[in-house]
Structure 1
Amino acid sequence: MSGDWVRHVIWWHVYPLGFVGAEPEAGPGTGVTHRLGHLTEWLDHLIGLGCNGLALGPVFASGTHGYDTVDYLRVDPRLGDDGDFDALVAACRERGIRILLDGVFNHAGREFPPVRAALDGSGPREWVRWSGEYPYLFEGHDRLITLDHTSPVVRDFVVDVMCHWLERGADGWRLDAAYAVDPEFWAAVLPRVRERFPEAWFVGEMIHGDYGDYVKRSSLDAVTQYELWKAVWSSLNDRNLFELAWALDRHRAWTADFLPLTFLGNHDVTRIASRLTDPRHRGHAAALLFFLPGVPSVYYGDEFGYQGVKEDRPGGDDAVRPAMPPVPAGGGEEYQRLIGIRRRDSWLTSARISTDGLTNETVAIIAEGPAGQRLALLLNLADKPFGYGHHDPVPPHSWAIVPG
């Protein structure tokens, strides 16, 4: 499994094509536009927040949004070229920043050469998963062709791609749509990659399902904690902290075995600032992200309170994948303060958690460390103060982190 560095990483998650303002589609003759430098300019902001990891969305050549990959070994020309990628890696290394790449290995773009050849009959069919004479489409998308994960050629290819970019400076992989892939595929692929890169970290995108069983069967290091994400905003909106407590029970069980990737936002969901119906509770959500065990990820712009609603239509992701302006002089102080607490008390990453004083609108979440450390996160969604133990009452619609 991965090295100890994962216990100390806090990711800043970026959707690169949106971040740099790239064109929505790459035409046949799309030339190279050197845009990754704009992301490099933001690395000091990442460090200033207290983060030390850069989680990149797709950076490989694709037809549109990055998840329809057409060349896994080439940087998307709308972002730049190999030189731009190497410069970004070097800039991260200078600052001690880890890099996570986004691997789209469940499916590929229709124009990925082996897929295209399989579809038109000019090449072997073994790259594609078939239903009779028809290829499987990922979630009904005509451009996204599901790969055949039982095929040795696909497994070998994924091993080669992962090793290629780990050799180029990446520290790990987010595995897109892992929930749609048989876990035995990863169990066959990842040990071969770990033979060469034992410190690499692998996190699978899981939206639903039995997280613990999938991690065990796949040999992944972690999965995305969508259950907790849902419980955070839903419980805050409904002022129903019993929902949060239920999710924390499951979270506690999982974190005993692995450290999931925790988040309030990403490239696929409505921004937390837009999701929450009461802006007074945004701080509660952020406090939960950095207090609870797991490996936290900040989606770019959330630290500034960016708004953005995901819509189920063509272009419906654009609002949550915006282009970023020049680096601001300041901002994100609440996130900075919370990350500072996480850095000071790094044992929180794998803390054991429990709840006390639970009502619809109040709760104390107790975190205990391996050496007897104790902290409590007090959440108050009520219109009156919340008193807990000997601590000062928490004002209405506020939160506090206090000694446990």
Structure 2
Amino acid sequence: MIFSAVSHLQTPAELYSINKESVCVRIKTAKNDVLQVTIIHGDPYVWEQDSWQSSEKSMSLAGSDDLHDYWTVTLQLPHSRLRYGFILTSTDESVVYTERGFYQEKPKHVSPYFCLPYLHENEIFSPPSWVKDTVWYQIFPERFSNGDPSINPDNVLPWGSEEPQVDSFFGGDLQGVINHLDHLSDLGINGIYFTPIFKAFSNHKYDTIDYMQIDPQFGDEQTLIKLVQECHKRGIRVMLDAVFNHSGYYFEPFQDVLKNGEDSRYRDWFHPHAYPLDPHAQKPNYETFAFVGMMPKLNTANPEVKDYLLQVARYWIETFDIDGWRLDVANEVDHDFWRDFRRTVKETKEDVYILGEIWHQSTPWLVGDQFDAVMNYPLTDAIQDFVLREETVESFTQSITRHLFSYPQPVNQVQFNLLDSHDTARVLTESNGNKNHVMLQYLMLFSFPGSPCIYYGDEIGMAGDNDPGCRACMIWDQNKQDTELFTFVKDLIQWRKELPTMGTYETIQFHESGVDDVLLYSTYSNDEVLLIAINRSQTAQSIVLPESFMDYTLIDHISGETLDKQTALEISKEHFRLVKKHLS
């Protein structure tokens, strides 16, 4: 047995609360090294005749990557506390693994075992329950629809009259969103994520001038109130975007520091290195987002700054009844600020969704005291590596397994899953115009745990390279829309709602397809199993069904056709199959 590969850490990914009476425990062993893992568990205070009383339960092999096997088990805790260890069995030996290392036999005393001292209900990671059932639609307000020309900026261009530039304006506004809510309801989404709407200089609004004011080119407070109310009538949640890492150049406190330098009362709101500030230098003499002088970094450790930004967080919830905050450049803001932010937001409205923009592994922010989720770009990369970049099936399953097991399941269920955004090339462009490959990516996105998001216009076949190309005007001329793609996305959203095995399930299992270009996996609910086959190749493929599916009558989810105890499954080129079996 490879002892050095055995790992269990009492981190949220490997020991987490499901509810006040149960926990999930995970452990890693070297790949293909251990045949069985059994957990030893018990209440540390239950003794009989000077002997600690424990029970044993087999753990399930839940997945593997290139280095490790992942084992998992759920335990009930009658007294909210736990001591536990592991019996590891290979072909030639059996050992006991505890907090203090390896033993040949179970320690008789409780001290060496791993310890969960007490499961405090207020420390259970509890993201809003509605998020895991939400399909988001991201709107870049300046480019969605011009609903009120009377508030157009002076330099506005006719809608869609030219390709977008970094400094162009087309007049999109909040009234334009209200005018097209029927389009979103028809599609089936039930959440809208808006990029910033606060007063700012740019078209993207990530350079805030006033955190307490809607940008005049987007509308006023009454328009936003109406928009949120109309969304809520349709069962659509609303999430706003805030930039607390940095302000804009024209933010009044920063202008005061530019003017008064070291004598400014706002000098400690920022991170100056010298005076006078030089915003035009290649590397400004103050902290910024990247080296962008127009985006000075805020000092969120300053009590005045913190109080001001927490007022912002409360104001938009209390005044407009929003349902979520997406937080820009969230990984560059200090953790103490985010802890106070969470307390403030959850006290204001308990089920507000807090989403951080972080592109990398994000465990430090997802332990229950800061964010509910992050933008799940690692999933984006894995999906596109498989469908578009010919990553092997084995490599894909390994990377996805590693990623899923790096977070507790309650986090995975509410992660913000996406294929593109205002910060990336559009999925159709990334797919070199191959619509079939776009569909395969969307199917995968919707079938993995998390809350999927559609970037505006993707559903009707809009293309566009990286910023500014991905920020073109929404196409409202139906003669120029891809109605086939719209119908597919609409169907996909409906499948997500009607199939408990699409996205909100507890278990996923990967299978050998026997074909290099076919990814095969199954997802499970209490009474149903869904088998998903993805064929990325340009030729039709026939795969052998997993043995566990051969003795069942299967149903093709799309056609409704009954497949009576087949041994193989045919998949068209660049296409997929969804077949399900009922367990009850």
1:346/1:46 CA distance change after superposition, 3 Å: farther
Q: Which amino acid aligns with 1:246?
A: Q
Q: Which amino acid aligns with 1:260?
A: Q
Secondary structure, aligned partner of 1:281: helix
Secondary structure, aligned partner of 2:227: helix
Q: Which amino acid aligns with 2:495?
A: I
Taking the TM superposition and a 5 Å limit, the aligned residue runs for 1:238-253 are: 238-240=389-391, 241-253=393-405
Secondary structure, aligned partner of 1:135: coil
Counterpart of 1:293 in structure 2 is 449
The 10-residue stretch of structure 1 (232-241 or 165-174) with the greater mean CA deviation from structure 2: 232-241
The 10-residue stretch of structure 1 (210-219 or 259-268) with the greater mean CA deviation from structure 2: 210-219
Counterpart of 2:543 in structure 1 is 387
Secondary structure, aligned partner of 1:393: strand
How far the C-alpha of 1:214 sits from its partner, in A, is 2.5
How far the C-alpha of 1:327 sits from its partner, in A, is 7.0
Query: Separation in 1 of the partners of 2:362 and 2:542?
Result: 34
Counterpart of 2:192 in structure 1 is 54
Asked if structure 2 preserves the Cα contact closer than 8 Å seen for 1:14 and 1:56, the reply is yes
How far the C-alpha of 1:292 sits from its partner, in A, is 0.9
Match for residue 472 of structure 2 among 322, 326, 331? 322
Query: Separation in 2 of the partners of 1:393 and 1:178?
Result: 45
Secondary structure, aligned partner of 1:249: helix
**Alignment pair present for 1:39 and 2:195:** no
Asked if structure 1 preserves the Cα contact closer than 8 Å seen for 2:141 and 2:172, the reply is no
Q: Deviations over 1:327-346 (max 9, x none)?
A: 74983001011111100024
Counterpart of 1:15 in structure 2 is 140
Q: Deviations over 1:210-245 (max 9, x none)?
A: 222331275200001111111212221222233432
- In our comparison, the structure showing a higher alpha carbon Rg is 2
Q: Could you state the TM-score of these two structures normalised by the residue count of structure 1?
A: 0.90
Q: Which amino acid aligns with 1:125?
A: R
1:11/1:5 CA distance change after superposition, 3 Å: same
Q: Which amino acid aligns with 1:20?
A: S
Asked if structure 1 preserves the Cα contact closer than 8 Å seen for 2:142 and 2:172, the reply is no
Asked if structure 1 preserves the Cα contact closer than 8 Å seen for 2:501 and 2:523, the reply is no
Taking the TM superposition and a 5 Å limit, the aligned residue runs for 1:261-276 are: 261-276=416-431
Asked if structure 1 preserves the Cα contact closer than 8 Å seen for 2:380 and 2:418, the reply is yes
Asked if structure 1 preserves the Cα contact closer than 8 Å seen for 2:237 and 2:323, the reply is yes
**Alignment pair present for 1:228 and 2:228:** no
Query: Separation in 1 of the partners of 2:142 and 2:512?
Result: 45
Percent identity between the aligned chains? 27
Query: Separation in 2 of the partners of 1:25 and 1:104?
Result: 25
1:68/1:218 CA distance change after superposition, 3 Å: farther
How far the C-alpha of 1:158 sits from its partner, in A, is 1.8
The 10-residue stretch of structure 1 (374-383 or 285-294) with the greater mean CA deviation from structure 2: 374-383
How far the C-alpha of 1:195 sits from its partner, in A, is 1.3
Query: Separation in 1 of the partners of 2:182 and 2:172?
Result: 20
Query: Separation in 2 of the partners of 1:384 and 1:84?
Result: 52
The 10-residue stretch of structure 1 (62-71 or 256-265) with the greater mean CA deviation from structure 2: 256-265
Residues paired across the two proteins, number: 390
Match for residue 183 of structure 1 among 335, 338, 348? 335
Query: Separation in 2 of the partners of 1:10 and 1:176?
Result: 20
**Alignment pair present for 1:202 and 2:354:** yes
Counterpart of 1:84 in structure 2 is 223
Query: Separation in 1 of the partners of 2:521 and 2:364?
Result: 26
Query: Separation in 1 of the partners of 2:225 and 2:477?
Result: 21
Counterpart of 1:313 in structure 2 is none
Which has the bigger relative contact order, CA under 8 A and spacing at least 6? 1
Q: Which amino acid aligns with 1:37?
A: Q
How far the C-alpha of 1:25 sits from its partner, in A, is 7.9
Query: Separation in 2 of the partners of 1:356 and 1:63?
Result: 52
Q: Deviations over 1:335-388 (max 9, x none)?
A: 01111110002453332222112554111122123x253212211123241324
Q: Could you state the TM-score of these two structures normalised by the residue count of structure 2?
A: 0.63
Asked if structure 2 preserves the Cα contact closer than 8 Å seen for 1:239 and 1:360, the reply is no
**Alignment pair present for 1:124 and 2:266:** yes
Asked if structure 2 preserves the Cα contact closer than 8 Å seen for 1:231 and 1:243, the reply is no
Asked if structure 2 preserves the Cα contact closer than 8 Å seen for 1:271 and 1:309, the reply is yes
Q: Which amino acid aligns with 1:394?
A: I
The 10-residue stretch of structure 1 (56-65 or 270-279) with the greater mean CA deviation from structure 2: 270-279
Taking the TM superposition and a 5 Å limit, the aligned residue runs for 1:356-371 are: 356-357=511-512, 360-369=516-525, 371=526
How far the C-alpha of 1:18 sits from its partner, in A, is 2.2
Q: Which amino acid aligns with 2:441?
A: A
Q: Deviations over 1:132-190 (max 9, x none)?
A: 55320101111111111211122212211111111112101010111222333211221
Q: Which sections of structure 2, spanning at least 5 residues, go unmatched?
A: 1-125, 147-151, 157-170, 276-284, 546-565
Secondary structure, aligned partner of 1:88: helix
Asked if structure 2 preserves the Cα contact closer than 8 Å seen for 1:34 and 1:80, the reply is no
Q: Which amino acid aligns with 1:274?
A: T
**Alignment pair present for 1:256 and 2:433:** no
How far the C-alpha of 1:395 sits from its partner, in A, is 1.6
Query: Separation in 2 of the partners of 1:285 and 1:319?
Result: 21
Query: Separation in 2 of the partners of 1:392 and 1:108?
Result: 55
Asked if structure 2 preserves the Cα contact closer than 8 Å seen for 1:14 and 1:300, the reply is yes
Q: Which amino acid aligns with 2:533?
A: L
* RMSD of aligned Cα (Å): 2.3
